[in-house]
Amino acid sequence: MSADSFQAPSLEHLAELLPAYDFEAFIAQGGMGAVYKARQRSLDRDVAIKILPRELGADPEFRQSFETEAKAMARLNYPNLIGVYDFGDVEGMPYIVMEYVNGKSLFHSAYNTAIEPVQAVTIVKAISDGLAHAHENGVIHRDIKPANILLTPKAEPKIGDFGLARPAGSGGSGILMGTPGYAAPEIMRHPDHADRRSDLFALGVILYELLIGRCPPYEYQPPASTVSGCDPALDRICEKAMHPVADLRYQSAEAFSAALDEWLRKATGAAAAAATPAPAGRRVRRVGAMMGGGSSSYEPADSGSGGMVKGLLLTAAAVVIAAVGWNKYQGMETQKAQLQAQANQAAQNAQASKPVADKPQDSALPVKPKAEREKPAESPLKSLERLKSNLAAGKRGEMPSGSIAMNGTDILVVPTPMSWAAATAFAEAHGGHLFVVTGDKDLDKLAALVPAGESGADPGLWLGVGRVGKDGWSSMNGSEWTATSKPVGAGSFAVLDGEGVVKAREAVDRYPFIIQWEKDGSNPASVAAMLRRTGESIAEGKPAFPPGTLSYEGHLIYLAPIEASAKQAEEFAEQAHGHLVILDNEEKNAWLDDKLSSFNSKGAFWIGAKKENDQWKWNKEVPWEFTQWADETQVDGLGTYVKFSPGSGWMTAYRDDFAPGFIVEWTASGASSSGGDAGAPEVPLTLPPAIVELEEKAKSLLANHDKKRQADLAKNAKDFAWQIDTWFGDLSKNEQSTWKEHVGKLKERAQSGRVPEKVTGIRLSERMAKIVEYCSQKQATIDAAFKAEAKKIRDAYVTRVNDAMSKAANEEEKRSLESRIKLSADLDQWLKGVGNAESGVVSRDTLAITDPVVGRWKWIHDEVIDVRADGTVTNEINSMKGTWSLDKGKYVFTWDGGNWVDTLMLSPDGEALTGKNQNGDTISGDRMAAKKPAGSSNPFGTPTMESANVDPIVGPWKWGGGPRATYTFNEDGTVRVGSGRGTWKCVSKAGSKREYRVTWGSQGIVDTVVIQDKKPDYFEGTNSNGLKIWADRIAQ
């Protein structure tokens, strides 16, 4: 479709088609649409209406995309976002009604002109706040650039042109998104990888552009301070925002905005910033001085300068971009590139044609000749990224800046917190590995390198050490743990704190880390090297497994976090004398799903299944009886290998496809001769009865103090809401109209008994800010009081345990008591690590002060949701799994590997959850009564007809015949198996026998089964076809 093929409707014709609007002016036109200024009669307001061609309206795929995007944009309601009021179509032409902004674009107003730093930061912060609102509602812009930022006459920015916006996680595979120069590197390589951090990269480019007064494309060097003379602190903000690695950028718009806000508070003010001398050749101006009058941002620009000519052409380009349906019209990229080239040429011609006297004369400002300027120092992370390919290839001629020599190796601290798996993969991608400890001296030296924890987080550095099996610890390079003390705590991976203490932490925790490089270019701690050593050790009869290896019923299982094809994954597993994991039953599949979710693993990983002769089979001749396909289409998919996706299920793939990792399994034969901790069953810690009783007392005391803390926090949150409401109620109606939205958003962040400690993305009045400060300080005092009481209990506990250790009856008892002393060194870990005592044996189950949301909930559509203290959540009806977290007073439930999100708030009494899903639909849940164990009066755990507190059929059963699937009978009369649903009812009770009718689906398929008192763990009966059926109870 050419630029001339679309004939813009006349004002008169549009007035007939859309009688609710008075069309006042034609603004601009591109090949794919036209924009008009109109007056909405019903609300008496100016609007901008964009009309798109009939060819697009006739395309069903475009219409669906257009409707989805319009609805997503309409949900965004924020001062720094251009509002969308309505959409539809007339005579087959789609249209969208938007807020009319009486101003010009940021591109038009600041083209090739450096802006005063304070105003530049103010503008970018406002844009960041607008993006935060969009991201919070699940919308990513994907094309942030100055041409899509409109400025009001007061120089307030508004983000527009959400033509490329998609709900986060939506499709659009392979589509080039964004504008070169502003698009993040990951978008240019993989268009599907755009996320909120991609928007922040583009915003960082805008900040850099405003500070130096030059448009991209360019290398983002030298720092802005050396070009414009701005504060060097802004260099660090720009550098982080524009980092080529998404994980090393600001991770949210709120974080970016907070950094800018902190700089603004420290800045000396606009006058001081304006007085900062800039190098010659750069004009430092205020945007307001360039805004001119009140001409619309959509009106053609004047032609008196290169910037204005370019602004005119790019305004047309912006209309084209916003009008295009990206799924079907990639050819428009060519037209956009042509417009860009024309604009560049026009700008150059206009600039060259100016008289010499027209050019800026800043020669009075002192400026260093280019040849004499000092080359800016390269940051360690930029240096690391520049040398990535060389380091990965084993080249050690140049090492990253900031690296130091230690133990005959080179090391570098990476201050960006990551999970253990992510840090491992990052280090290997850069040719190194996490630091391997050789003794206590290493710990003393490294402790000085531990950076402070971000936002009050526990400070620490990941080490290249992990748990193997239940109690063993192994270094990534195969060396033994030689430090005096093993990691303390219940986690699986080692972290070094600033005091030189090594602690055990979970895989999902995030810490900075140390990369270590061998001088000879080798990497003895790579995943490939660890698997090779494992194979060699098994061949020698002395198995040694990689750190992080898990134990499951006599099997050892390891997630290898390196990209590989199915063929390569099989070769790696064989080299390790293992095989890709076999998931031949529901219990093992569910266990692995839970473990990978706790690792926070994303993506799908190779498992040991393949299709041969059109039949699926396991690699080790294990019968193919159990399956867990993500959906029915996977069964007959074209792929011949299988990936496992945590939270979703199995997916087919081709042999040469790549996955982010694979899962290796060693059977009992490979692990039986381990001769040590790997795979060994956990040995209970035997404690003196007095200490068992002491721990029960400590648990009770802590629970009481926590109950008081929760009550105090709830009262503080209630007082917070009351003070806000009182202030708001005293305002005039006009003032209330101004502040209503901001007050509502602030109160939303004060749910579940906690007040927000820091507020970004919301406009606060002076009084609102003081209320937030007062109540957050009071909240901190309440938390500190609880910690103080907990510390007293811990200290008294330690005194008693020390006394008991001096009187230990044997070495085993002494070691058990020593482990409790080590655990108590860290208060938070002690709170999590004290266990439940029973018969003198203490389990390693954690004692965490349970979050009030933990428990079973009756969800919408009669679904039962089990929320666990370990951060996982399971839908007991459809078996879907996920995770939950508390974010700014709201509980965020993330399902299916991040493909679905519910956000809810807990009622003050803790008995109800209400909120919305990611589509904006209202959802709710009610707490279910705690499930009572069947047959609790029977010492053998088997219920009888008389003693059972619940019906004896309630619970999980392993059905006879076929794949022996698990059927779960619930107290509410429902029953499920996989995705199947049904109901059950006890239809007769005769002596020691009960008869049940089980009805499946809407077709009324009925099974009739009988449970006898003498055999309560078994039932049998017949199905609708008269065939015999039976089941065995699954022990719990």
Q: Which two tokens stand for residue 810?
A: 């044997």
* Alpha-carbon span 952 to 936, nearest angstrom: 12
- What's the rounded Cα separation, in Å, for the pair 304 and 102? 21
Q: What is the 3-state secondary structure (H, E, C) of 253-308?
A: HHHHHHHHHHHHHHCCCHHHHHCCCCCCCCCEECHHHHCCCCCCCCCCCCCCCHHH
What whole-number distance in Å separates Cα of residue 718 and Cα of residue 706? 18
> Phi, psi at residue 748, to the nearest 5°?
-60, -30
Is 39:24 a contact under the CB 8 Å cutoff?
A: yes
143 noted as active-site residue:
yes
How far CA 58 is from CA of 14, 55, 92, 321, 894, in Å, comes to 19, 5, 7, 18, 37
Residue with tokens 């399971």: 874
Kindly report whether the peptide bond that precedes residue 524 is cis, defined as omega within 30 degrees of 0: no
Q: Which of 205, 207, 186 is nearest to 195 (CA)?
A: 186
Smallest Cα–Cα separation from 446: which of 460, 456, 431? 460
Distance, CA of 752 to CA of 845 (rounded, Å): 26
Cα dist. 532→142, 475, 539, 573, 739 in Å? 43, 15, 11, 9, 64
Burial class (CB in 10 A: 0-12, 13-18, 19+), 1014: exposed
| CB-CB neighbours of 379 under 10 Å | 18
Other residues' Cβ atoms within 10 Å of the Cβ of residue 689: 10
How many residues belong to the chain?
1036
Give the Cα separation of 285 and 267 in Å (integer).
17
Q: Give CA separation, 512 vs 223, 496, 601, 988, in Å.
A: 26, 10, 18, 63
Instruction: List C-alpha distances in Å: 547 to 9, 299, 449, 485.
Output: 68, 63, 24, 17
Q: Which of 4, 44, 46, 143 is catalytic?
A: 143
Whether residue 547 contacts residue 476, with contact meaning beta carbons closer than 8 Å, is answered with yes
**3-class state of residue 429 by DSSP:** helix
Name the residue with tokens 């707490």. 927
List C-alpha distances in Å: 582 to 557, 611, 627, 672: 10, 14, 11, 18
The amino acid occupying position 698 is A
Structure tokens at 839: 């018969």
- What angle (nearest 5°) sits at the alpha carbon of residue 725, between those of residues 720 and 726? 100
Token pair for 921:
């639909």
Q: How many CB atoms lie within 10 A of CB 224?
A: 26
Residues 153/102, Cβ–Cβ less than 8 Å? yes
> Are the C-beta atoms of residues 580 and 619 closer than 8 Å to each other?
yes
468 forms beta bridges with 472
The whole-angstrom separation of Cα 672 and Cα 662 is 23
Q: Where are the beta strands (DSSP E) in 439-570?
A: 461-468, 472-475, 493-496, 502-505, 511-518, 550-552, 555-560, 564-565
Looking at residue 760, its amino acid is: T
Burial class (CB in 10 A: 0-12, 13-18, 19+), 210: buried
Catalytic residue numbers read 143
